[in-house]
Structure 1
């Protein structure tokens, strides 16, 4: 069994075909007791060799709101030990970590963060097993947990609760900088990537001055870039509402009170807060998410990109064709949506979807003759929340002469009884090649050889990007950088 020395102590992984896997490796101290709602601290380390054959616990969380799309996960969380990560590395890279003539070239590294609306998910879930991707691209793959829900995004800086999720992610990148060479990885060739909330995080990690220097490349999969970071005043209001639900007096040492409560009480209050908010269809914001002007999110991505924060970095961004069906297809309010009802929703969402959203609805409607209002509304929300931001980044870079690679993933399940089409998260089994871990996922449906071929093409292109900065390579379809004008070169991944 392979053993690697980290800064906190040695870990023993397992060989799985052509790769070695090291799971559940702590990158920070357990956020329990006085460290609950505190910035991540270094792990105290361990004596002896730590078994890293199995994933560590997830961060405490309730069920995902997308279970109807992706399938259910059994609870596997524990606050103690939840700040852990997983590493997959080619055996040939691991064999070459010693000095001397036999040493292999260090491999490029992908640090990938899971989605889940800043409220659910785990880098240790088998959905995100990085072994196939590591073998496919000859790269090192890292997935990680970060604090979510109230543990990661409660805004109470007075007690230390200040964008803790992004602070955890920064700690992951620093752990990679300090330790990944021992796993055969190159700390100077790190791609930060992720999907949905993890994609949003990846962009901000790439542009934040505190972490930008640790990132060479960036992959943004279905990032909700149309959702602005939380305004501090709004985040303060959400925190106050959360304390009221818990019955905690903000004026009487709320930190001590919050650390004394059980994790179940904290999660239950978060669920009750979400129910009180009752977001309208199309507003995907959870009760809490990253706060602008605070650690990890010092400025908007629009301002950072305009200021050149992505200059010198390689960029790959993509979406699936029908992102918003995951959030709207099962919403009973959409079933009998009328045109007037859709316009009314848009008026209420102009702060999220843009001030011209009602006018845009009329344009989308004209481009889709005969489409039901729910379809028009879903398509508009898909573009405003997920697609337009990535296109804006690519267009800005193209105007500066910098390459960006854009994709659209279009594969649909067959049958598709819920009308999900190519919905949010549907590309994940194809990236990681983990089809068998989604046995009851309506977004995936039956899988055949064509799907597996598509998975190798999609995963292979993204792995090539991690390795070289270009998604092109032997056996891969030609993928040209995004360009302005009618021929924008957006790569399509789907089935004929």
Structure 2
């Protein structure tokens, strides 16, 4: 699909397969057209709850796409003390939506297609939303002259309950794949190039990006990969553990055991808030010291995860696709780890696997670019350092949307310079450039992002 856009004053309009969309021009970062709350799949409610995503029905006239859609049902994030709290905005009805930012010039007839970044939020497969202002893509779209997409997917039990007896597995991964397919088919209407898609994300979103790039069902749609602070060892839950977690949730909800007659219908009738409360209690019951894994996560062998991610990369599943991958220097302070254990815990849960993926790519002759983000808040009374998620406001340039977040603290000119440097490197990668020297088997270059490196 080629660009079908037009701009009437401050109103951009595009035509996608399901109908016409009316967005708005965001002038804060240049002439960027924003289209928010676009449904990429039918609402997962009623008979579609706990079902694979289905196409969204076509609509007549112009659909308003100026406001972000609801997030997927979720409870409070366990990282609120680090990132700040969000006002609940979830609604199961309409939660499978995405957002697109594109240069206004890309909508003109005959404009050259722009590269595309499809970015998935983190949140331990339990919280988050691509529609939150934390992840506003306008600045990246303007800086890189590219198209930016953020997408929602089902979370918690609604996205990751494992009941193979009912045909339920990895519904959140199925949602992500559906969003990627929608982008591949429709992004041309926004001036994007479906042959130049980078899939990226942070934390659980980084795991998801690598999964989409290595799964044979979706790999052909991905040309580049951006992985920020991936905890790759929690992507690929053992089916036995996943089945036990499912049984635990059913007990908490006072529902019959897996395989029981009528179980699916009863699950579909449980109010979303009761599912969230049950999942929260399950998280308390299954928590283990030193682990950051949620009670439900992508299940190995289920949709989107045919094999462990590190094994897939080691054996060549990323061959031919450049990779940009990195971590923050004190990831685990967000999870209450301090003192002598911090460095080892951060390496074990985040750094070691990211480095292994880079080494595997380098060993096979691939282009891998590795970074460490080390900017620390000053003052830092809680001793967070460069904690998990600390890089997010610097990538998106959304400092004002993190008021009083301990991980950010006060922002000055040096921080804004660091933000420009970090975002410029990422957009250079997405648009086909070389952000810094490649990571090689005999020269393992790691680029440091901190206040001293800003320029």
> What TM-score do you get using the length of structure 1 for normalisation?
0.87
RMSD: 1.0
| Equivalent residue, structure 1, for 2:14 | 4
The one of 44, 52, 56 aligned to 2:65: 52
Asked if structure 2 preserves the Cα contact closer than 8 Å seen for 1:217 and 1:469, the reply is no
Instruction: Report the Cα offset of residue 104 of structure 1.
Output: 1.5
Is 1:480 the counterpart of 2:441? The answer is no
CA distance in 2, matches of 1:431, 1:306: 28
Looking at structure 2, the residues matched to 411 and 396 of structure 1 have their Cα atoms a distance apart, in angstroms, of 28
CA contact 1:25–1:52 (8 Å) conserved in 2: yes
Distance in structure 2 (CA, Å) of the matches to 1:82 and 1:157: 24
**8 Å Cα contact 2:316-2:364 kept in structure 1:** no
SS in structure 1 at match of 2:179: helix
Match of 1:336 in 2: none
Structure 2 residues not aligned, in runs of 5+: 1-10
Partner of 1:164: 171
Distance 2:123 2:85 in 1: 13
What is the distance in 1 between the residues matched to 2:303 and 2:218?
11
In structure 1, the residue matched to 2:32 is 19
Match of 1:259 among 260, 268, 285: 268
Q: What is aligned with 1:133?
A: 140
Q: Which residue of 2 aligns with 1:31?
A: 44
CA shift, 1:469, in A, is: 4.7
Instruction: Report the counterpart of residue 318 of structure 1 in structure 2.
Output: 326
CA distance in structure 2 between the aligned counterparts of 1:249 and 1:401, rounded to whole angstroms: 52
Q: Provide the residue aligned with 1:123 in structure 2.
A: 130
Contact 1:314 1:469 survives alignment (8 Å): no
Q: Which residue of 1 aligns with 2:279?
A: 270
Alpha-carbon spacing, 1:16–1:167, altered in 2? closer, same or farther (3 Å): same
**SS where residue 291 of structure 1 aligns?**
coil
In 2, are the aligned partners of 1:22 and 1:86 still within 8 Å (CA)?
yes
Match of 2:403 among 431, 436, 439: 439
Quick one: distance in 2 between partners of 1:257 and 1:265? 13
Query: Shift of the alpha carbon at 1:278?
Result: 2.8
Q: Hey, what's the Cα distance between the residues in 1 that align with 2:156 and 2:357?
A: 28
Instruction: Find the residue that maps to 1:324 and give its secondary structure.
Output: helix
What secondary structure sits across from 1:28 in the alignment? coil
Matches within 5 A, 1:183-202: 183-202=190-209
Q: How does 1:166-185 map to 2 (within 5 A)?
A: 166-185=173-192
Listed as ranges, the gaps of 5+ residues in structure 1 are 330-373, 472-478
**Equivalent position SS for 2:440:** coil
Deviations 1:168-225 (A, max 9, x none): 0000110001100000000010000000000010011100001000000000000002
Match of 1:344 in 2: none
Match of 1:380 in 2: 344
1:284 maps to which of 270, 274, 292: 292
Q: Residue by residue, what CA displacement relative to the aligned partner does 1:29-50 show, whole Å, maximum 9, x if unpaired?
A: 0000000000000001211100
User: In structure 2, what is the Cα distance between the partners aligned to 1:300 and 1:394?
Assistant: 16
Alignment of 1:230-379 (within 5 A): 230-250=237-257, 251-280=260-289, 282-329=290-337, 374-379=338-343
1:280-336 Cα shifts (integer Å, max 9, x gaps): 1x200001000000101010112211221101101110000000000015xxxxxxx
Structure 1 counterpart SS, 2:217 = coil
Matched with 1:364 is none
In structure 2, what is the equivalent of residue 416 of structure 1? Answer: 380
Counterpart secondary structure, 1:445: coil
Question: What corresponds to 2:426 in structure 1?
Answer: 462
Q: Which residue number in structure 2 is paired with residue 142 of structure 1?
A: 149
* Residue of structure 1 in register with 2:6 after alignment: none
Q: Contact conserved, 2:319 with 2:364, CA < 8 A, in 1?
A: no
SS in structure 1 opposite 2:256?
Answer: coil
Instruction: Say which SS state the counterpart of residue 275 (structure 1) adopts.
Output: helix
Over residues 238-290 of structure 1, what are the superposed CA-to-partner deviations in whole Å (9 max), with x where a residue is unaligned?
Answer: 1011100000012232111111111011111001111111321x200001000
How far apart are the structure 1 equivalents of 2:378 and 2:158? 39
For 1:376 and 1:191, locate their aligned partners in 2 and report how far apart those are by CA, in whole Å: 37
How far apart, in 1, do the equivalents of 2:143 and 2:235 lie? 35
Counterpart Cα distance in 2 of 1:232 and 1:107:
40
- Quote the residue 1:75 is aligned against: 88
User: Which structure's CA Rg is the greater one?
Assistant: 1
Task: Tell me by how many angstroms 1:228 deviates.
Answer: 5.0
- The match for 1:395 is 359
